[in-house]
């Protein structure tokens, strides 16, 4: 049975962006499903609730520590450490890769604040004391370390994976699996009805800079939290901007939920200034999208030849990878502005 394992990649973001990209690439080559903070590069308490759901769905937890402690939660603990603590609490197998020489990391990628630096040292000690760790010195070493350690973890600590081979005893889990299976069946039926390979001319489809209206909602809470009002709004984004917003998830081979979360985070970051100016700080710090909008977007991208569905996950096609390069690369005119 072909089982794919989901690996949650946890680290600070800005200083390890290149390293994370390399780690995600090697995990994809291993036919694993990488996931992590690419969905929400700017962490906050509300979005951390979503991240916990992604960790819950993961089989292994890969922690990379370098020279920064990371963004702090209201309790003064970094979101990276909170992710680690949550994975340990949930009993998820942890693979820890620590930079061997943190004092030698280039100046722009290290902590300057003494308090944050002390917290980073304590975090490293906590991880080292309770886990088997490996050390790295540069990003070129990471592919080999990731490959060896993830393969060893799969052999020594086999997990369930995304093709479930065991009998699920939890009634709620069984109900959720049935719901997801029904959702996949309905989506596949929609795709079959479209008969995309034979009847649709992609050149006649809306794409590029043409706009698509997306409906979303958020909650407005009273000051004491006792009352909640649901606010429904909409935003028009171009198809290229939508593809850009979900591209990190698509690179990681995603299900509907992960793509929904990526687009919701993008729309919130785009709209948050207006939302808080109009509704105040009592508005929730995330938005929810209509499932119908996500289904339409995925069907549109499939019709355009950007993605394909294998029955469980969405994958980028060769055409989709070309489109990804087009929308995410920096053009020369921008560099000279």
Q: pLDDT tens digit string along 64-114?
A: 999 898 888 888 999 899 999 999 998 899 999 999 888 888 877 888 889
| pLDDT value at 131 more than 80 | no
CATH number of the domain located at residue range(s) 6-156 in this protein: 3.40.50.10140
**Higher local confidence (pLDDT), 321 or 38:** 321
Residue 337 is predicted with a pLDDT of 47
Evaluate whether 6-156 and 201-333 have a shared fold: no
CATH architecture of 201-333: Orthogonal Bundle (1.10)
How far apart are the C-alpha atoms of 11 and 68, rounded to whole Å?
9
**79-89 helix and 114-130 helix, angle to the nearest 10 degrees:** 20
Is the CB of residue 202 less than 8 Å from the CB of residue 305?
yes
Neighbours of 171 (CB within 10 A): 8
Non-local CB neighbours of 262 within 8 Å, separated by 6+ positions? 38, 39, 245, 246, 248, 249, 254
Domain range list for the chain: 6-156, 201-333
Segment 152-171 mean pLDDT:
69
pLDDT, one tens digit per residue, over 20-59 is 888 888 898 888 888 876 555 555 556 777 888 889 889 9
Residue 292 CB burial class (10 angstroms; 0-12, 13-18, ≥19) = exposed
For Cα atoms 263, 260, 57, give the angle at the middle one, nearest 5 degrees: 125
pTM: 0.50
Distance between CA atoms of 32 and 59, rounded to whole angstroms?
A: 10
Q: Determine the length of the chain.
A: 337
For the record, the structure tokens of 199 come out as 């009847």
The whole-number average pLDDT for the span 178-189 is 70
Mean pLDDT of 150-163: 84
Q: What percent of the chain has pLDDT over 70?
A: 82
Chain mean pLDDT for the chain? 82
Residue 31 is predicted with a pLDDT of: 85
Q: How confident is the model at residue 178 (pLDDT cuts 50, 70, 90)?
A: confident
308 close to 314: Cβ distance less than 8 angstroms:
yes
- DSSP 8-state assignment for residue 14: G
**DSSP per residue, 123-165:** HHHHHHHHS-EEEESSGGGHHHHHHHHHHHHHHHS----SS--
Coil, strand or helix at 67: coil
**Cα–Cα separations (whole angstroms), residue 275 to 24, 219, 229, 269:** 34, 11, 14, 10
Extract the tokens encoding 213: 């209206």
Q: Is the dihedral of CA 118, 119, 121, 125 positive or negative?
A: positive
What is the pLDDT, as a whole number, of residue 122? Answer: 93
């Amino acid at each position: 049975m072909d089982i794919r394992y989901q690996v949650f990649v946890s680290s600070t973001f800005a200083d390890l962006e290149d390293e994370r990209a390399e780690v995600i690439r090697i995990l994809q080559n291993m036919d694993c499903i990488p996931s992590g903070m690419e969905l929400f590069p700017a962490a906050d308490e509300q979005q951390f609730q979503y991240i916990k759901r992604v960790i819950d769905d993961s089989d292994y937890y890969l922690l990379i520590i370098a020279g920064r402690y990371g963004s702090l939660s209201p309790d003064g603990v970094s979101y990276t450490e909170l992710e680690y603590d949550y994975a340990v609490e949930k009993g998820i197998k942890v693979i820890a890769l620590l930079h061997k020489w943190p004092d030698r990391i280039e100046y722009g990628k290290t902590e300057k604040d003494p308090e944050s630096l002390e917290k980073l040292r304590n975090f490293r000690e906590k991880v080292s004391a309770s886990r088997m760790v490996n050390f790295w010195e540069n990003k070129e070493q990471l592919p080999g370390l990731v490959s060896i350690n993830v393969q060893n973890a799969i052999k020594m600590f086999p997990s369930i994976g995304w093709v479930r081979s065991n009998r699920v005893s939890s009634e709620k889990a069984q109900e959720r699996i049935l719901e997801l299976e029904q959702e996949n069946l309905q989506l596949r039926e929609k795709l079959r009805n479209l008969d995309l390979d034979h009847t649709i001319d992609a050149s006649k489809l809306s794409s590029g800079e043409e706009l698509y209206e997306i409906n979303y909602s958020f909650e407005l809470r009273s000051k004491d939290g006792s009352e909640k009002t649901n606010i429904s709004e909409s935003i028009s984004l171009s198809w290229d901007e939508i593809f850009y917003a979900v591209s990190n998830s698509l690179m990681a081979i995603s299900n509907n939920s992960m793509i929904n979360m990526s687009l919701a985070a993008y729309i919130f970051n785009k709209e948050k200034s207006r939302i808080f100016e109009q509704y105040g700080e009592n508005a929730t710090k995330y938005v929810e999208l209509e499932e119908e909008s996500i289904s339409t977007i995925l069907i549109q991208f499939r019709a355009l030849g950007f993605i394909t569905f294998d029955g469980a996950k969405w994958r980028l096609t060769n055409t989709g990878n070309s489109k990804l390069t087009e929308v995410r690369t920096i053009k020369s005119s921008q560099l000279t502005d």
